[in-house]
Amino acid sequence: AQSVTQPDIHITVSEGASLELRCNYSYGATPYLFWYVQSPGQGLQLLLKYFSGDTLVQGIKGFEAEFKRSQSSFNLRKPSVHWSDAAEYFCAVVTTSGTYKYIFGTGTRLKVLA
Amino acid sequence: ETGVTQSPTHLIKTRGQQVTLRCSSQSGHNTVSWYQQALGQGPQFIFQYYREEENGRGNFPPRFSGLQFPNYSSELNVNALELDDSALYLCASSLSPEVVDTEAFFGQGTRLTVV
């Protein structure tokens, strides 16, 4: 069965520090992978997506993610975190058998220290 | 701004009651999906509607039902509410049922509390 694991429930970093959020997926075929961000009281905003091609994907707000098939991972990175990045981050895979739907991880809540 | 709006933003209902949540999709988006996000969890797929017909369903009981209208609006109905139905409900609209081809845009959600 398809699944997404985000091993870190909470992460705290200082403003200006680098960030890496981990995501591991389980999917039999070529995965279509996404990272979304959710601010308090808000819906989900797409940060970036990977369908095929270059395994390093650039997104909005200075985020990037790298697809590593050998490790079944799609980790999200940012070189320098801003206080406004504090939010919850969700990794997702889209299933392509039957109805196309997102399978989300449980999320990682990011806290940024001033 | 995703162009997808949901109403109401917050709702409190009593166990056993029925509730209707509404979503207004982007113009031209003929596909809408609904997700339930319990506290501390990622969103879980409830069902998808395409051109006013149900196009797939997740692991949710029949008391969760939906409607999609030609004017790009849709509804999620939940009957016989249970305490565990308390969650944030998100709708996502897209141009096509094949999400991999087009981005899905999420609304801000409706926070339902069942007491």
Please tell me the distance in Å from B38's CA to the nearest CA on chain A. 10
Residue B69 has pLDDT above 80, yes or no: yes
Q: Which two tokens stand for residue B114?
A: 């069942």
Residue of A nearest to B50 (CA): A99
Q: Are A75 and A33 in contact (CB under 8 A)?
A: no
Name B105's Cβ contacts closer than 8 Å, sequence gap at least 6: B2, B3, B4, B26, B29, B92, B93, B94
Q: Show residues of chain B in contact with A101, CB under 8 Å.
A: 33, 45, 48, 56, 58, 99
Alpha-carbon span B83 to B41, nearest angstrom? 16
Is the CB of A100 less than 8 angstroms away from the CB of B44? no
User: Which of B36-45, B74-83, B96-105 has the largest mean confidence?
Assistant: B74-83
**Within 10 A of A9 (CB to CB), how many other CB atoms are there?**
10
Q: Show residues of chain A in contact with B108, CB under 8 Å.
A: 41-43
Alpha-carbon span B30 to B7, nearest angstrom? 19
Q: Please, what is the average pLDDT of chain A?
A: 92
**pLDDT digits over A35-74, tens only?**
999 998 788 999 999 988 889 999 999 999 999 999 999 9
For testing contact with chain B, the best of A39, A100, A106, A109 (most B CBs within 10 A): A100
Helices (H), B5-111: none
